[in-house]
Amino acid sequence: MDAKLIAGNCADVETECLVVMAVDQGEKQKNEPRLAHRDAALEKAAAELLSTGEVTSKAFEAVMVHHPQGLKAKRLLVINAGKAKKFNADALRKAAGTAVRFLKPKMIKSCVFVPPEIEGGVAEAVRGVVEGAFVGDFDPDTYRSDRKDLRMQDIKIVVAPGADQAGAERALDRARIVGESQNFARELVNEPGNHMTPTILGERARAMCQEVGLKCEALGPDKIKELKMGAFWSVAQGSDEEPRLIVIRYEPAGAPEKPVLGLVGKGVTFDTGGISIKPADGMEKMKYDMAGGAAMLGAMRAIGLLKPRVKVTAIVCATENMPSGKAQKPGDIQIAMSGKSIEIINTDAEGRLVLADGLHYARTLGCTHLLDAATLTGACVIALGAVNAGVFANDEDIYKRFCQALQRSGERFWRLPLDQEYFEQIRSSIADIMNTGGRYGGAINAAMFLKEFVDETPWIHMDIAGLAWMDENKSWIAKGPSGVAVRSLVEFVGGFSA
């Protein structure tokens, strides 16, 4: 999809569809819709519609007017963006995605957005529109034989005369890169296990890096064993598919020697649970267990194109988790790259094993700050549902930076504790630690396990299990992979560059 700015008055824009936002300024259940734009021509064109009650108080509904009075556009699409007092860049993203998803089935391939007034000005509004439109344009029906190409061909954003055109252009370019990169991550997650093996994931990573100018290695079993990555290898050993240790480096000229940011992703391309096998019901969704690794690849794509002035190294530990005669068993003892011994209690707690070696390896490569992302625990979904992802931090400064990134990205994370008392739940009587800690505090137990492999390095752990996959269609995003964490990672890295 192409995206560009046009300058002029929205009343004079000739287009298949002009998209505007409405907000509800009523209190509680009272519905008082008004446009989120101060433009006399738009207000006049939408006045009759807003007075009829067709624009209800339900957020992210879409209502279309044909041949709107006083406008050159063939259609006027009004998106209800929710309560006026809660209208922000994130609501704008959802509204823009809603518009694209409303128009696509009608075979409308082009539209023009009028950026509404939000905090941050026209640049922030342009960013929200473009990011939301790209997310809304993605559909997961890749392998349907009767698939119709419903993709939007182009969107335009009309900027009024006198607005900061240069700032809006910069915002658009950045938003397009971030939106495309989030969809790149979604494409990877959407692939079924037979089309997204660890080898194929390594090939896709290499191709992406070649496209955007990053250094990439996809290391195989011999190197993994040479590095003594016993935790990672213990998961991989049960599969006929070879694992891949994907290492991507971004080292821009003129960047300071420190910090070096390390992005570590869980890349389990299919998770059966191993010998501790999962129930059959819903196992087909376990192709998404590499969403953390895909988020890192999507973020690195954006970083390669945006060129922040900070060094970044990404590591994705890619493997399948399969039951076989070669697979590890409950009760086995594995030695991680760091030298720590691990008692395997449940082979379905495999994500923390691959991340343990990935985090330690990032430290050996000189990373001074670490972030990992993983669809790690169902316990985090039980705790937070599908509204917030979980986040853990061992350092207040890095957590403060992460919160600042969230303010820009609009993604929702909730901090969970890392009190040292929780370590007792993963203490082993035969080894240093166990890979599970019982029924209670499951997400925290997993984070405490990972904490053992970062030492004092400032570290953020994102448990994205609840948000990485949309279980149903929303008006602004399709059912399937969400690409969560890509935007936050990009904003976090950009914060160091600034």
Share of the chain above pLDDT 90, in %: 91
Residue 79 has pLDDT above 90, yes or no: yes
**Nearest CA-CA partner of 107 in 141, 140, 153:** 153
Residue 86 has pLDDT above 90, yes or no: no
Helices (H), 213-290: 221-226, 230-236
Residue 429 has pLDDT above 90, yes or no: yes
Q: Which residues contact 202 (CB under 8 A, 6 or more apart)?
A: 218, 244, 246, 318
Query: Mean pLDDT across the stretch 401-425?
Result: 97
345, two tokens: 């209690």
Q: Which of 109, 206, 278, 474 is catalytic?
A: 278
pLDDT tens digits along 348-390:
999 999 999 999 999 999 999 999 999 999 999 999 999 999 9
Residue 302 near residue 181 (C-beta atoms within 8 A): yes
Structure confidence at residue 253 (pLDDT): 94
Cα 434 from Cα 445, distance rounded (Å): 10
Q: What is the SS3 assignment for 430?
A: coil
Residue 498 has pLDDT above 80, yes or no: no
Residue 56 has pLDDT above 90, yes or no: no
Looking at every residue in the chain, the average pLDDT score rounds to: 96
Residue 273 near residue 378 (C-beta atoms within 8 A): no
Residue 238 has pLDDT above 90, yes or no: yes
Structure confidence at residue 216 (pLDDT): 98
Structure confidence at residue 364 (pLDDT): 98
183, two tokens: 């969809």
Structure confidence at residue 234 (pLDDT): 98
In this structure, what DSSP letter does residue 427 have?
B
Count of Cβ atoms closer than 10 Å to residue 52 Cβ = 9
pLDDT tens digits along 158-186:
998 888 999 999 999 999 999 999 999 99
Structure confidence at residue 25 (pLDDT): 83
Query: Mean pLDDT across the stretch 449-473?
Result: 98
In this structure, what DSSP letter does residue 480 have?
E
Structure confidence at residue 399 (pLDDT): 98
**Regarding beta strands 110-113 and 18-24, do their DSSP bridges make them parallel or antiparallel, or are they unpaired?**
parallel
Residue 94 has pLDDT above 70, yes or no: yes
For 297, 352, 355, 435, the CA distances from 452, given in Å and listed in that order, are: 25, 11, 11, 11
Structure confidence at residue 17 (pLDDT): 98
Structure confidence at residue 31 (pLDDT): 79
> What domains are there in the chain, each with its CATH number?
2-158 (3.40.220.10), 181-497 (3.40.630.10)
Q: Which of 352, 363, 401, 408 is catalytic?
A: 352
Question: Does the CA dihedral 104-284-194-485 come out positive or negative?
Answer: positive
Cα 357 from Cα 87, distance rounded (Å): 43
Cα 444 from Cα 384, distance rounded (Å): 13
Structure confidence at residue 161 (pLDDT): 85
Query: Mean pLDDT across the stretch 139-146?
Result: 95
Active site residue 278: yes
pLDDT tens digits along 18-55:
999 999 887 766 778 899 988 899 999 999 998 888 88
Structure confidence at residue 28 (pLDDT): 66
Cα 16 from Cα 64, distance rounded (Å): 12
Cα 342 from Cα 304, distance rounded (Å): 36
Share of the chain above pLDDT 70, in %: 99
Cα 336 from Cα 1, distance rounded (Å): 45
Cα 113 from Cα 89, distance rounded (Å): 14
pLDDT tens digits along 301-353:
999 999 999 999 999 999 999 999 999 999 999 999 999 999 999 999 999 99
Structure confidence at residue 29 (pLDDT): 65
Cα 297 from Cα 211, distance rounded (Å): 13
- Burial class for 405, CB neighbours closer than 10 Å (0-12, 13-18, 19+): buried
Residue 224 has pLDDT above 90, yes or no: yes
pLDDT tens digits along 58-73:
889 999 999 999 999 9
Residue 57 has pLDDT above 80, yes or no: no
Residue 59 near residue 35 (C-beta atoms within 8 A): no
More confident residue, 52 or 486: 486
Residue 291 phi, psi dihedral angles, 5° rounding: -65, -35
Cα 435 from Cα 39, distance rounded (Å): 60
Q: What kind and span of H or E run contains 219?
A: strand 215-219
Cα 33 from Cα 6, distance rounded (Å): 27
In this structure, what DSSP letter does residue 285 have?
G
Residue 452 has pLDDT above 80, yes or no: yes
pLDDT tens digits along 461-472:
999 999 999 999
Structure confidence at residue 11 (pLDDT): 94
Query: Mean pLDDT across the stretch 126-138?
Result: 98
Q: Which residue has the tokens 């690409």?
A: 483
Q: What kind and span of H or E run contains 492?
A: helix 486-497
Helices (H), 144-290: 165-190, 198-212, 221-226, 230-236
Q: What kind and span of H or E run contains 265?
A: strand 260-271
pTM (2 d.p.): 0.97
For 59, 115, 178, 418, the CA distances from 119, given in Å and listed in that order, are: 20, 12, 20, 35
Cα 295 from Cα 372, distance rounded (Å): 10
Query: Mean pLDDT across the stretch 491-496?
Result: 97
